[in-house]
Homo-oligomer: A and B are copies of this chain.
Amino acid sequence: MKTRASRTKESSGWQIISGGITAPQGYLASGVSAGIKKKGLDLAVVFSSQTASAAGIFTTNRVQAAPVVLSSENLKVSRGRARAILINSGCANACTGERGMHDSLMSTQCLASHFEADPSQILVASTGVIGSFLPVPKLLKGISAAVSALNSRGGTAAVRAIMTTDTREKCIAVEGRIGGKTVRIGGMAKGAGMIHPQMATMLAVITTDARILPRDLNKMLHHAAECSFNCLTVDGDTSTNDTVFAMANGASGALVGDNRSRSFFEKGLALVCEELAKSIARDGEGATKFVEITVGGAPDFEAARKVAKAIAHSPLVKTALYGEELNWGRILCAVGYSGVPFDPEEVTLNLNGIPIFRNGAPVGSTRARAEKAMKAHDLRIEVDLDCGRAFAKVWTCDLSHKYVDINGSYIS
């Protein structure tokens, strides 16, 4: 991932560097085993040595996990300021009623006491089984251990602690210069939709040592998420726990305030978010293919993304990609029921650059070439609606036997 990205994105003025959320200055992190999962790391803490501007984006699901409700409230109470983020895997603390809310609150109070911070400056996220309660004594003991383990290279342990059935660690860091000062943005993420039977959630944490006002950080994070995390789908199941946090602690001394620095910072943030989103699609449950769907010629971005998501959600398209079969009729069928108006006679469909359908009819001459292209691991589906100038990209994966294995036989 890093090699590809650094080749293609250097022109933006941002350079990909090694590391993750602790690459920017003034952040410590840790990941410990608190015993919430049967084995392995399951508790992460991210700590900023100075109070940071903070922003959060949360699931749109009406059933929201306790930590989602609490973090959202905390960001309001603290007016977009935070000192630390606490994340556990192994238990989503969702559908747990008042007791779940109480457990989340207690965990933020416990962590805050270690830093002599206000509990409202602690953000919290959980991922794992829906409908079970947090093992509170284990959690509180784990928090102490995680605080003791905090260090400036702890990003690696932290990203491991938030994984559920992820098969790879997902982190990235970039470096650029603002006002003569070196600025870094780091990020980590977990998940692949609801990758595991009861292991819900996409989570992501972005850190930066730039100095940014909370309301600016919030705006930029929402914008970046719209074209990255919100363009990602594995199975179309929006979890009860989806959360993206961003912290900006100003430790680099570089101020992101004027239009020029903002525009530059946005590019770096977009790069971090897009690479994290793609890495989630690549690690989708049971994935054997990475699929980028580009829909162009649309009246607006929303319409383009709607069409791309209809394709990305279709079980028939996804199983065909898995089977490496050129069932392009399924792609056009999904475009047709997406709800976006267009003229089927004017649509063009390309696969990895090879024309498949145009002028209302199949392109017969490319069939053999296109069938061969289906064997590639990375697939690009390109649709042009010819009714506008907007476009959108969506990332997804195929639907394999292993997806059914993972999601159909977890307990047994």
Interface string of A22-53 (1 = CB under 8 A from B): 00000000000000000000000000000000
Cα–Cα, bound, A328→B132 (Å) = 11
A257 is an interface residue with CB less than 8 A from chain B: no
B329 touches A131 (CB 8 A): yes
A237 is an interface residue with CB less than 8 A from chain B: yes
Neighbouring B residues of A381 by C-beta, 8 Å: none
A240 is an interface residue with CB less than 8 A from chain B: yes
Neighbouring B residues of A236 by C-beta, 8 Å: 313-315
Stretch at the interface among A152-160, A170-178, A212-220, A330-338: A330-338
Neighbouring B residues of A341 by C-beta, 8 Å: 62
A323 touches B409 (CB 8 A): yes
Cα–Cα, bound, A101→B362 (Å) = 15
Closest to A195 in B: B316
B319 touches A407 (CB 8 A): yes
Cα–Cα, bound, A412→B320 (Å) = 11
Cβ-defined partner of A336 (8 Å) among B62, B92, B315? B62
A94 is an interface residue with CB less than 8 A from chain B: yes
Stretch at the interface among A6-14, A104-112, A142-150, A396-404: A396-404
Closest to A193 in B: B316
Q: Other than the known A96-B361, A320-B408, what 15 A-B pairs have Cβ atoms closer than 8 Å? A: A61-B333, A62-B344, A97-B345, A97-B361, A130-B327, A130-B330, A130-B332, A194-B316, A197-B327, A197-B330, A237-B333, A319-B404, A320-B407, A325-B409, A325-B411
A336 touches B407 (CB 8 A): no
Neighbouring B residues of A94 by C-beta, 8 Å: 329, 333
A275 is an interface residue with CB less than 8 A from chain B: no
Neighbouring B residues of A77 by C-beta, 8 Å: none
Neighbouring B residues of A401 by C-beta, 8 Å: 401, 404-405, 408
Neighbouring B residues of A240 by C-beta, 8 Å: 329, 332-333, 336
A235 touches B407 (CB 8 A): no
A329 touches B130 (CB 8 A): yes
Closest to A336 in B: B63
Cα–Cα, bound, A51→B201 (Å) = 59
A385 to nearest B CB, angstroms?
10
Q: How many residues of A contact B (CB 8 A)?
A: 66
Cβ-defined partner of A131 (8 Å) among B194, B197, B322, B328? B328
Cβ-defined partner of A315 (8 Å) among B316, B359, B399? B399
Given contacts A404-B399, A407-B316, A410-B323, contact A95 B361 (CB under 8 A): yes
Neighbouring B residues of A182 by C-beta, 8 Å: none
Cα–Cα, bound, A373→B361 (Å) = 50
Given contacts A315-B403, A337-B61, contact A131 B320 (CB under 8 A): no
A18 is an interface residue with CB less than 8 A from chain B: no
A399 to nearest B CB, angstroms?
7
B238 touches A95 (CB 8 A): no
Given contacts A95-B357, A315-B399, contact A329 B408 (CB under 8 A): no
A355 to nearest B CB, angstroms?
14
Cα–Cα, bound, A131→B61 (Å) = 38
A333 touches B63 (CB 8 A): yes
Neighbouring B residues of A324 by C-beta, 8 Å: 412
A60 is an interface residue with CB less than 8 A from chain B: yes
A98 to nearest B CB, angstroms?
7
Given contacts A62-B337, A361-B95, A401-B401, contact A330 B408 (CB under 8 A): no
Cα–Cα, bound, A194→B410 (Å) = 28
B344 touches A63 (CB 8 A): yes
Within 8 A of B (CB), among A171-200: 194, 197-198, 200
Cα–Cα, bound, A344→B360 (Å) = 47
Given contacts A131-B362, A319-B404, contact A412 B325 (CB under 8 A): yes
Closest to A410 in B: B325
A264 is an interface residue with CB less than 8 A from chain B: no
Within 8 A of B (CB), among A86-140: 92, 94-99, 129-131
